[in-house]
Structure 1
Amino acid sequence: MSRIEAPRDEVTGNLLDRLRAGLPPEAVLSDPDVTASYANDMASFCASGAPAVVVLPRTVEQVQHVMRIATELRVPVVPQGARTGLSGAANASDGCIVLSLTKMDRILEINPVDRVAVVEPGVVNATLSRAVNEQGLYYPPDPSSWEMCTIGGNIGTASGGLCCVKYGVTAEYVLGLDVVLADGRLMSTGRRTAKGVAGYDLTRLFVGSEGSLGIIVRAVLALKPMPPRQLVLAAEFASAADACDAVCRIMAGGHVPSLLELMDRTTVKAVNDLAHMGLPESTEALLLAAFDTPDPAADLAAVGALCEAAGATEVVPADDVAESELLLKARRLSLTALEAVKGTSMIDDVCVPRSRLGELLEGVERIAEKHRLTIGVCAHAGDGNTHPTVCFDAQDPDESRRARESFDEIMALGLELGGTITGEHGVGILKKEWLAREIGPVGVEMQRAVKQVFDPLGLLNPGKLF
């Protein structure tokens, strides 16, 4: 005899009643027109479903209530932050609870002695950065979306940013977490001490887990002393290969720039078209190098000489902080500008060894020619993390098909060069197939086993990663 299920409306009604019993009225959104606006993040080619309800908790206890009800009623839960992600990791599934953590946005503590900040997951990256700056401290991770993205989302995707070449990625700054598990229990991981090796490193396990293991409700983050204001150098090159040669010379020379960023000709033109910044469009590649050392001018001079040795056609060090900030603004606008080229873009996130960066850029150029597409590349060149961005018209089925094929070919090229399919954007829905290719069947089996331990019913962010 087949199992008789209650009608969908009856199930949803029961879910809403149970949620409202432990949440304030304004925290439960059920209007379909409103919930639909929470259905997806910023990724292209990623399916999303219709959530049954959107919940906006303000306390840990409210998150626990949601997870207990979800477990009892067997309803999937999709955690969300600001939905600035680029892999579909925050996309809703049909009938799910979207658990938006944006209202949990308090900075609970900034401690200059311990050099830590304690924050809720909905704190915006830029808000935290400015708050710690006021106390002479520095939180380095700075994704391009730092004015919008949340710390919880940064932790969930193990995000990076422009400063990674010197200061590292988000994972290196997460000391401890409070996590609500799938069944509603609260678990604390890690520490707030400078050292500590007690037990398995469960904190690192949650960093990059994309909401598939638990709901992060509090984070202890490491801070650094505020460095001097950085100065930036811009170097123009007649080829991307020469620019990549300069990157190799800089890193082999033992220099430690605070950022080392690359923009190809297509990206430079796109930024100029969008913001009229007067960047040199005659160049094939523009390399930006910065130092926040006590004597940045001397460091820029040394790096400038290496750029000239690699074939730079012009090297221009910024005269002051204002000019430096203008150059960094141009780099931060890159992805937005490329999206404006055709109205839609697919932003890849392939990271390769620095020594093979030139091969990746040459390969991307061949792929663009093959598929008759505009593909711009901006890159965190100092750590080999590139963002080839495929520009296409989403209303053109043939162009959309070619865009997806080129995206896959770029990921395949990255693996062929000894790299990874994602350096900082995560897997989500977009790269599930490619994660399996990168880590292999045994790797997938082990990751699924870990997921089973933390989420035996498979309720947390189903359909993501693998």
Structure 2
Amino acid sequence: MGKPTWKDAVIIGKWGIWKPVWGGQLVMAGADSHLADKLRTVVRGQVLTDQESLRYYSFDQSIYQIEPRVVVLPEDVEDARRLVSFAVREGLPITARGGGSGTAGSALGSGIVMALPEHGCWNRISDFASSADMAQVRAGAGAYHNQLQDYLRQRGFFLPADVTSAEISRIGGNIATKASGPHALRYGSIDRFLEQVTFITDRGEVVDTGDEASIPERFRTRLVELRQRLHADRAAMAVLEARRQLKTASGYNLFAFLDHLSSGKLITRLLAGSVGTLGLVTEATVRAEPSERQQVVVLLYFADLVETARAVCALRELPVAAIELISRETLNIIRRSGRLPDSLAVDANLVLVELSGPAAVAELEKVENVLHAEGFRLLAGPVVAGTAEEIERLWAVRKQVLWLIRNPQPGFQALSVVNDVGVPPEHLAEFISEVEQVFARQRLTSLIYGHAGSGNLHLRPLFDLTQPGLPARIQLLADEIYQVVLRYGGTISGEHGMGRLRAPYLSREWGADLYGYMREVKEIFDPGELFNPGVVFSNSPITDHLREELLSVETSG
């Protein structure tokens, strides 16, 4: 049998989301049959060791390929608890996997991959309660994000942390990555909307952070001690306070220690962004906001990308809900797909501004006034979308950007390498200028888009996969881009969370002291490195475990 190639992939889904069915090292049928047999005496859910399943779970939306020994789909929380105890006895790490939408390789593991079924407690949405200005609802970790949003929308509410990958991402994954989305500018990340989380510890305990009595004493005691030492460390506290407004999902959420929270609330915040390394999240209670009854979206067209970024900084001073940026090069590739409405067909860098609330229409005049006062010149007149249908159509295109640009032409891919960086918004223009210089030096076409109002950009360079030396090119780009990011006080991840792609840069972002406090958090919750090792703390090259087709040129020569 010949070596599997990119052509062996299966293309499925509304937007052509790829889900590969090839693998790296082929696994003989029954190679782990003994392990599977033991597991089937412990759990009632599916236990998978067949070649096709292992290959499928070797991939997510990242550049990596890691084949697990076994995949388990637990029937319920008790099944998952038994799985943890089994993994401890067998000395096997557990990697929790949601929808496989991660871009940093945090949902891949070489031990046990715990995937969530699409039934039962895992995708259940229940216990809805509301008042005039807020609602709460409980969701299983396996519930899809758009499933939860539809449930809330029918009741007049929405979850403001509205990720653009809603059709394939799950609530557990959203919590794991500290997800946010375009409306983080106004509302922040998902940790602000977490009321309670249920998770399984490394000892198999089921903890409900809303029930202080269920929290193990070892967690409460050591977290209090850690908080006291952190508060006594003036230098560390100064860094956290200075970065508190930065949109970041890198490392553990130490910002939680700045507030005087109960043990349950503190743990809830720490689990947000922990990428499954502190425990296995099984469900959560989230807070929702009333749906905005009045919304307006205005499209602005600019000739120069740096000037576009300056306009973003000026506009974010207004009471806007979201400011999105899509570069000219990105739009040009989308245009070839034939998916652009006429309002996006202008050859320009685009800014999408959303205004919401009772004064949304009135605020439109302020947008025009700011642009005029600052001397910004538009390539074309602003286009205003005021109906629900028009607004939905524009947001639909924005949410499809990744799927439309990732394979723009044969031999080229817009790889996830530096795809989730962030800087303080006041430095956005200078940052983009330097980033474009890096891409130019490395002769890469730069596709830039993202949540510019929050300083969070998705950089997607087009790599030529037909040329040798791809691992070295990936490493060089990451090194240079992150150097620029950190020089401006930025972050290696704005909303997609940690993973193999970013772990080696974590200490550079936070410094040795705060990096040490993060290691202590891991030691408190998972001293035996049971949960998802290597995705928060690692010095391994980011080019280890690259997908097979990314190495095909190297091996074919």
- Cα deviation for residue 189 of structure 1 reads 1.3
Residues 1:42 and 2:61 aligned together: yes
1:214 maps to which residue? 279
Contact 1:208 1:426 in 2 (8 A): yes
State the distance in 1 between where 2:442 and 2:85 align. Answer: 49
Mark the CA change 1:18 to 1:403 in structure 2 (over 3 Å): closer, same or farther. Answer: closer
State the distance in 1 between where 2:199 and 2:126 align. Answer: 16
State the distance in 1 between where 2:157 and 2:204 align. Answer: 35
- 1:148-191 Cα distance to aligned partner (Å, 9 max, x none): 10000000000110111112111111111111011211112147
Residues 1:108 and 2:126 aligned together: yes
| Alignment counterpart, residue 396 of structure 2, candidates 304, 329, 339 | 329
Contact 2:123 2:144 in 1 (8 A): yes
TM-score by length of 1: 0.91
| Alignment counterpart, residue 363 of structure 2, candidates 290, 299, 310 | 299
Residues 1:345 and 2:403 aligned together: no
Contact 2:320 2:354 in 1 (8 A): yes
State the distance in 2 between where 1:276 and 1:49 align. Answer: 34
- Which one-letter code corresponds to 1:105 in the other structure? N
| Alignment counterpart, residue 225 of structure 1, candidates 272, 278, 290 | 290
Contact 1:338 1:391 in 2 (8 A): no
Contact 2:163 2:181 in 1 (8 A): yes
2:315 maps to which residue? 250
2:40 maps to which residue? 20
1:372-383 counterparts in 2 under 5 A?
372-383=443-454
- Which one-letter code corresponds to 1:451 in the other structure? K
1:256-335 counterparts in 2 under 5 A?
256-277=319-340, 278=342, 279-283=344-348, 285-308=349-372, 309-313=375-379, 314-335=381-402
- Which one-letter code corresponds to 1:436 in the other structure? S
- Cα deviation for residue 13 of structure 1 reads 4.4
- Cα deviation for residue 458 of structure 1 reads 1.0
Residues 1:65 and 2:135 aligned together: no
- 1:406-431 Cα distance to aligned partner (Å, 9 max, x none): 23322211111111111111120001
2:530 maps to which residue? 459
Identity level (%): 30
Mark the CA change 1:378 to 1:10 in structure 2 (over 3 Å): closer, same or farther. Answer: closer
Contact 2:162 2:180 in 1 (8 A): yes
- Which one-letter code corresponds to 1:447 in the other structure? M
2:500 maps to which residue? 429
1:51 maps to which residue? 68
- Cα deviation for residue 360 of structure 1 reads 1.4
- Which one-letter code corresponds to 2:302 in the other structure? F
- Which one-letter code corresponds to 2:167 in the other structure? E
State the distance in 1 between where 2:60 and 2:470 align. Answer: 22
1:50-199 counterparts in 2 under 5 A?
50-93=67-110, 96-103=111-118, 104-113=122-131, 115-190=135-210, 197-199=261-263
State the distance in 2 between where 1:317 and 1:108 align. Answer: 38
State the distance in 1 between where 2:295 and 2:211 align. Answer: 31
- 1:302-332 Cα distance to aligned partner (Å, 9 max, x none): 2133234422233221242222222222222
- Which one-letter code corresponds to 2:476 in the other structure? E
State the distance in 2 between where 1:136 and 1:464 align. Answer: 38
Mark the CA change 1:463 to 1:235 in structure 2 (over 3 Å): closer, same or farther. Answer: same
1:363 maps to which residue? 434
Mark the CA change 1:189 to 1:399 in structure 2 (over 3 Å): closer, same or farther. Answer: same
- Which one-letter code corresponds to 1:365 in the other structure? E
- Cα deviation for residue 9 of structure 1 reads 11
- Cα deviation for residue 14 of structure 1 reads 4.6
Mark the CA change 1:157 to 1:315 in structure 2 (over 3 Å): closer, same or farther. Answer: same
Mark the CA change 1:323 to 1:404 in structure 2 (over 3 Å): closer, same or farther. Answer: farther
1:3 maps to which residue? none
Any unmatched runs of 5+ in structure 1? Answer: 1-7
1:4 maps to which residue? none
State the distance in 1 between where 2:443 and 2:491 align. Answer: 25
State the distance in 1 between where 2:470 and 2:39 align. Answer: 44
State the distance in 2 between where 1:351 and 1:191 align. Answer: 35
TM-score by length of 2: 0.76
- Which one-letter code corresponds to 1:249 in the other structure? A
- Which one-letter code corresponds to 2:208 in the other structure? S
- Which one-letter code corresponds to 1:205 in the other structure? L
State the distance in 1 between where 2:260 and 2:515 align. Answer: 29
State the distance in 2 between where 1:333 and 1:362 align. Answer: 26
1:389-400 counterparts in 2 under 5 A?
389-398=460-469
Aligned length: 449
- Which one-letter code corresponds to 1:59 in the other structure? D
Mark the CA change 1:321 to 1:10 in structure 2 (over 3 Å): closer, same or farther. Answer: closer
- Which one-letter code corresponds to 2:166 in the other structure? W
State the distance in 2 between where 1:250 and 1:415 align. Answer: 24
- Which one-letter code corresponds to 1:394 in the other structure? L
State the distance in 1 between where 2:445 and 2:62 align. Answer: 18
SS in 2 for 1:340: coil
Contact 1:142 1:163 in 2 (8 A): yes
- Which one-letter code corresponds to 2:444 in the other structure? L
Contact 1:364 1:388 in 2 (8 A): no
